[in-house]
Amino acid sequence: MPIVCLGLNHRTAPVHVREQFALAEGKLPELLTALRAETSAEEAVILSTCNRVEIYAAGGAASEVLLNELRAFLVGESEVNDEVFYELNGAEAVEHLFKVASGLDSMVLGETEILGQLKAAYQLALEQKATGGRLNKSFQKAFNAAKQIRTETNIQRGSVSVANVAVELAGKIFDQLDDRTVMVIGAGDTSEKTARALLSRGAQSVIVSNRSPERAETLAAELGGKAVGFDNWENEFATIDIIISSTSAPHYVLDRKKLEPLQSLRQHRPLLLVDIAVPRDIEPEVNFLEDVYLYNIDDLQAIADDYLRLREDEIAKCNSIVRAKAKELLEALKVLPASCRQIGNATSAGKMQAAQN
C-alpha cells in the first residue's frame, strides 16, 4: 500500500491554470469524503494553497492505478495539459512531502507559511477520519523534519515569506514607504502579515476592507488603521498608493472598468497592485492603465529567485536531512503493524499536538 502524491504547483503550472484547481477551504471535508468513496484511496490529505494543490494518499491499489484515479478525480471535466501535474510514488512522494513542509519546494525558499497550511490540511483530514497509520506517520515525520531544518540550517534566514517579498516589490516601485497609504483587501492571514510587514518598513497607514465588517474592524484596530466597507473602498482610492488583495472570491474584485474612471483622482501618482490570491482578485488588463503596476503571485517569483541564490549553500544540508528522515520513515512503514493502519488512528490527535511544538 504505497504512499503517492499527485499535484501541481507554481513550477509546473502558471497562475491561470492553478486557479482552475483552487479548492475552497469549506469544501475540503466533502472532497475528502468523495475522494475516498470514488477512488481506491484508503487514506488521503488534500493541500490547497495559492501556489499548489496536492493530494497525498495511500490505498490498496497499485501506485499507477491510484495515481490515475486521483488525477481523474482532481481534473474532472477540466481541459488541461497533463504536463502540469506531477505524480510521485513511495520514496519520491515522502521526500516531496518533507520538502514541502520545510519550505524547500516553495516559491520563496524556506518560507514558513506552508508548514502551517500543511498542518491545517492534515488536521482536517484527521478530524474527517481520512488518515491512517501510513499518512499519520508520514505527516508527523514531515513536521519533525521541518523543525530540524529550521533549527539546524540557515535556510529561513532573511525575508522568507510572500508578505516580505511583496514589501520588497513595493520598495522597487517607491523610493520610500513612509508616506504611503496601503489598502488590504481581504483580512486573511497572508493579508495581515503583508500589512504588518509594510508597516514595519514605514508605511504611513493601512486601510482594511473585507466582506466581513467585524473582521475588518478587528484587523484595522490591531494595525492602528481603519476599516472600510467592502463595497465602499472606491471612496478611499485617491489616497491609496498600494493595494494588497488576497480574498477567496471566485471572480475579480478589481477590474479595469472599475479602476479606469478613478485614475483621474490620483493625478498620475503610481499605484502598486499586488494580487496574491488564487483565483486572482485583479483583472490582468488593469496593468495596461497608465501609472498602474500590477503583480500577481507568479510575478513575485523573480524576487524569490534572488533569495534562492542567497540560500544555495544551505540547500544541500537540508536535502541531506530530508533523505535521512525519509529513509527512517520508509523503514518504519515496512514494519507498521496492521492494527496501526486503521483509518483515523485514535492516537493521532495527540501526536498531531506534539508535532505542532
**Residue 343: which pLDDT band, with cuts at 50, 70 and 90?**
very low
Question: Could you tell me which residues come within 8 angstroms of residue 233 by beta carbon, excluding any fewer than 6 positions away?
Answer: 183, 185, 207, 209
The mean pLDDT value for 21-32 works out to 93
- DSSP string spanning 205-269? EEEEEESSHHHHHHHHHHHT-EEEETT-GGGGGGG-SEEEE----SS-SB-HHHHGGGGGGGTT-
From-to residues of CATH 3.30.460.30 in the chain: 3-157+311-342
Listed range (141-145, 173-177, 306-310) with the worst mean pLDDT: 306-310
Listed range (153-162, 254-263, 327-336) with the worst mean pLDDT: 153-162
Q: What is the pLDDT of residues 272-290, one digit of tens each?
A: 999 989 999 999 999 999 9
pLDDT in the model for residue 314: 83
Burial of 347 (0-12, 13-18, 19+ CB in 10 A): exposed
Please pick, among 5, 50, 318, 340, the residue that the annotation labels catalytic.
50
Question: Could you tell me which residues come within 8 angstroms of residue 102 by beta carbon, excluding any fewer than 6 positions away?
Answer: 110, 115, 145, 146, 149, 150, 155, 318, 322
The mean pLDDT value for 95-114 works out to 91
- Could you give the 3-state DSSP secondary structure of residue 103? coil
Query: Which architecture, in CATH terms, is 3-157+311-342?
Result: 2-Layer Sandwich (3.30)
Supply the DSSP symbol for 344: T
- DSSP string spanning 304-332? HHHHHHHTHHHHHHHHHHHHHHHHHHHHH
pLDDT in the model for residue 307: 66
- On the question of pLDDT at 324 being above 70, the answer is yes
Listed range (17-31, 93-107, 292-306) with the worst mean pLDDT: 292-306
- Could you give the 3-state DSSP secondary structure of residue 279? coil
5 carries an active-site annotation: no
Joined grid coordinates for residue 42: 484508503
The mean pLDDT value for 236-265 works out to 90
pLDDT in the model for residue 56: 98
* Angle value at C-alpha 63, between 60 and 64, nearest 5 degrees: 125
- On the question of pLDDT at 21 being above 80, the answer is yes
Q: Is the peptide bond before 14 cis (omega within 30 degrees of 0)?
A: no
* Angle value at C-alpha 82, between 78 and 87, nearest 5 degrees: 115
Question: Please, what's the largest Cα pairwise distance for the chain?
Answer: 70
d(CA 164, CA 270): 20
d(CA 279, CA 18): 8
Q: What is the pLDDT of residues 38-61, one digit of tens each?
A: 999 999 999 999 899 999 999 878
Joined grid coordinates for residue 104: 524547500
Question: Could you tell me which residues come within 8 angstroms of residue 22 by beta carbon, excluding any fewer than 6 positions away?
Answer: 48, 50, 53, 278, 279
The mean pLDDT value for 164-181 works out to 85
**Residue 79: which pLDDT band, with cuts at 50, 70 and 90?**
confident
Q: What is the pLDDT of residues 93-102, one digit of tens each?
A: 999 999 999 9
| Average pLDDT taken over every residue of the chain | 87
From-to residues of CATH 3.40.50.720 in the chain: 162-305
Q: Which residue has the higher pLDDT, 157 or 137?
A: 137
CATH 3.30.450.40 for domain 162-305: no
